[in-house]
Chains A and B, each alone.
Chain A
Amino acid sequence: MAGLNKVVESYDQALAGLTDNMTLMVGGFGLCGIPENLIIKMRDMGVKGLTCISNNAGVDDFGLGLLLQKKQIDRIYASYVGENALFEQQMLSGELDVILTPQGTLAEKIRAGGAGIPAFFTATGYGTPVADGKETREIDGRHYVLEPSLTADFALIKAWKADTMGNLIYRNTAMNFNPMMATAGKITVVEVEEIVPAGSFDPHHIHTPGIYVNRVIKGSFEKRIEQRTTREA
């Protein structure tokens, strides 16, 4: 009996059941707070035809860029994809279907998906190409766009620490999209830096309750920095 113990010991177990043509959410903002090793494992598994929901698409040789290299992604929902030449090439050639989504709308689509809300109205994007083909409505004199929510077969996220029951704590701005994605995956897999026994966390400090989490694996992270910017000491 595994009970409420969510810890798995291998990346094979972590991604068991992830197959071709699935829809995945992948946490992170740029390269900050991405599930580095789960992405590498997907590359090695060679799963294809994926739909990825992720704020960005990594860089050419790290993060989701690794899956683009092997043309494993058919469609991506993202808000900003400027750092990736491979991405540009595949988008322009039509190999990659890109649904550019305003960042706040993307975050809310995922939050709503995890919260059982099928769609919501937002003023974001009204009067722009983002609203093309979508239902709009005027409410109290302002115009809004109806945005459907998003869910996924798998949510692959990164947290700082987990306890064995899958309660999660994120660190600094590596939180970003991870908490909403944790709620919106049919199977949520979390890669963490440290796993502690259940009961170790002060319940006040838990960001994501374990109810949303199916599998936890401890990884070791490169944590690549995109724009190392410093000042003189």
Chain B
Amino acid sequence: MALSREQIAKRIAQELKDGYYVNLGIGIPTLVANYIPDDIEVMLQSENGLLGMGQFPTDDQVDADLINAGKQTVTMATGASLFSSAESFAMIRGGHVDLTVLGAFEVDVSGNIASWMIPGKLIKGMGGAMDLVAGADNIIVTMMHADKKGNSKILDACTLPLTGAQCIKKVVTDLAVLEIKDGAFHLIERAPDVTVEEIIQKTAGKLIVPAVVPVMAV
């Protein structure tokens, strides 16, 4: 079985380390916050100007002046700080954020990512994604391995306009954990009950498969 959105988030949460400052993108990345291990302390950065994002508010805590980058109402965690967008992107561009998790339409063997524009369809804009992929050394991309028709989104070369070039090293999909190095995807883990054959079949880009592929703990 392919992983659910929650299971993907749970797997990514295993990449969090004690003391990390983390930026979580919109969609599945946001769900990662629900699976932060109890025995570590991490701080979530929201690029609209909040370090130390807390849980969603209760009804009586809702504050129109306190939102996250997805424009959802939020609260502040202990030790939170507030700042301008310029300061926020100084943190991001300056490489001060330890881990960035974001979604994508396509990734390729060179570490290129396309996530913001499908020509001919509605163009919504890149928001902070281009800055995040340019600024972070440690980026995890989360996405579906293939589209609904079974077409792979793990490619030799992205077909859509790029968000960033040669910046992605790790991808967690509904089928597998992949690392990108030396011009190829390397299969690190597979989802429970997903065969290596299915992953090979749904990976269009060059894929290196080791003799033994461990199963994800989700």
The residue that A100 contacts in the complex, of B76, B112, B126, with Cβ under 8 A, is B126
What are the 4 tightest A-B residue pairs by CB atom distance, in nearest-first order? Answer: A127-B165, A104-B89, A104-B131, A82-B124
Bound complex: CA of A227 vs CA of B74, how far in Å? 10
Q: CB distance B62 to A124 under 8 Å? A: no
Q: CB distance B126 to A177 under 8 Å? A: no
Interface size on B, residues (CB 8 A): 53
Q: CB distance A175 to B84 under 8 Å? A: yes
Bound complex: CA of A229 vs CA of B92, how far in Å? 26
A88 within 8 A of B: yes
A217 within 8 A of B: no
CB distance from B95 to the nearest CB of A (A): 10
B203 within 8 A of A: no
The residue that A111 contacts in the complex, of B56, B86, B124, B130, with Cβ under 8 A, is B86
Bound complex: CA of A179 vs CA of B90, how far in Å? 15
Residue from A83, A122, A176 with most neighbouring chain B CB atoms (10 Å): A176
B85 within 8 A of A: yes
Interface size of A as a range: 35 or more
Which of A11-19, A43-51, A166-174, A198-206 contacts the other chain?
Answer: A166-174
A41 within 8 A of B: no
Q: Which residues of A contact B76 (CB under 8 A)?
A: 172
The residue that A30 contacts in the complex, of B55, B67, B89, B130, with Cβ under 8 A, is B67
A214 within 8 A of B: no
CB distance from B116 to the nearest CB of A (A): 8
The residue that A81 contacts in the complex, of B85, B86, B125, with Cβ under 8 A, is B125
Main secondary structure of the interface of A (DSSP, over half): loop
Known: A55-B85, A223-B64. A79 touches B127 (CB 8 A): yes
CB distance from B35 to the nearest CB of A (A): 16
Residue from A108, A130, A172, A173 with most neighbouring chain B CB atoms (10 Å): A173
Q: CB distance A127 to B166 under 8 Å? A: yes
B173 within 8 A of A: no
Chain A residues within 8 Å of B, Cβ to Cβ: 29-33, 55, 78-83, 88, 91, 100, 102-108, 110-111, 122-130, 160, 170-180, 223-233
Q: CB distance B165 to A126 under 8 Å? A: yes
B15 within 8 A of A: no
Bound complex: CA of A162 vs CA of B166, how far in Å? 46
Chain B residues within 8 Å of A, Cβ to Cβ: 46-50, 55-60, 62-68, 70-74, 76, 82-86, 88-89, 92-93, 112, 117, 122-131, 134-135, 161-166
Q: CB distance A91 to B85 under 8 Å? A: no
The residue that B123 contacts in the complex, of A91, A107, A160, A223, with Cβ under 8 A, is A91
Q: Which residues of A contact B56 (CB under 8 A)?
A: 229-231
Q: CB distance B130 to A125 under 8 Å? A: yes
Q: Which residues of B contact A30 (CB under 8 A)?
A: 67, 71
The residue that A102 contacts in the complex, of B112, B126, B165, with Cβ under 8 A, is B126
Q: Which residues of A contact B84 (CB under 8 A)?
A: 107, 175-180
Residue from A33, A171, A225 with most neighbouring chain B CB atoms (10 Å): A225
Q: Which residues of B contact A227 (CB under 8 A)?
A: 67, 70-73
Q: Which residues of A contact B73 (CB under 8 A)?
A: 225, 227-230
CB distance from A57 to the nearest CB of B (A): 9
The residue that B58 contacts in the complex, of A223, A226, A233, with Cβ under 8 A, is A233
Q: For the A-B complex with A80-B125, A83-B71, A125-B130 known, give 5 more contacts whose Cβ atoms are closer than 8 Å.
A: A31-B71, A32-B65, A104-B93, A105-B130, A172-B82
Kindly report which residue of chain A lies nearest to residue B132, judged by CB atoms: A104
Known: A107-B84, A179-B84. A172 touches B126 (CB 8 A): no
Q: CB distance A230 to B58 under 8 Å? A: yes
Q: CB distance B49 to A104 under 8 Å? A: no
Q: CB distance A176 to B131 under 8 Å? A: no
